[in-house]
Structure 1
Amino acid sequence: MFDPPTAALLRAVLDEVCENVSRTETGVRTHVASKILEAAMGGDTSVDRLKQVGRKALSEAPTMWR
């Protein structure tokens, strides 16, 4: 799907955006990850844009997941 450097970038963005989200909160992390992946698959791989997408997804995550 993605080359190793891009996959590492996506992981780093996810980890940064979700730095204050427990790893046990898989619903939130999955929601954010899916939005980041969606943006990257659409060709948007700039770090700033991916972080923006991730932060927006985090803010919009259903409250039952937080």
Structure 2
Amino acid sequence: MFGKESTARLHAVLDEACESVVHREIEAPSHVASKVLEAATVGEVSLGGLR
């Protein structure tokens, strides 16, 4: 679905976002991943756009 470079950016944005989420919010990483993939699916794959 996404190339190596885009996938690496998706992982980087997800990791960055999850670091700033309170650890007690167990569902937060899934929500963040969903939003990142939603943006990427419509063509937004730049780091700035995914953040």
Query: What TM-score, normalized by structure 2, do the two folds share?
Result: 0.80
Evaluate the alpha carbon distance shift between residue 2 and residue 24 of structure 1 in structure 2; reply closer, same or farther with a 3 A threshold: farther
Which residue in the other structure is 1:61 paired with? none
Q: As a proportion of its length, which structure holds more helix? A: 1
Which residue type is aligned with residue 42 of structure 2? G
Question: Which ranges in structure 2 are unaligned for 5 or more consecutive residues?
Answer: none
Displacement of 1:2:
1.0
Bigger relative contact order, structure 1 or 2, given CA contacts below 8 A and separation 6+?
2
- RMSD over aligned Cα atoms: 1.9
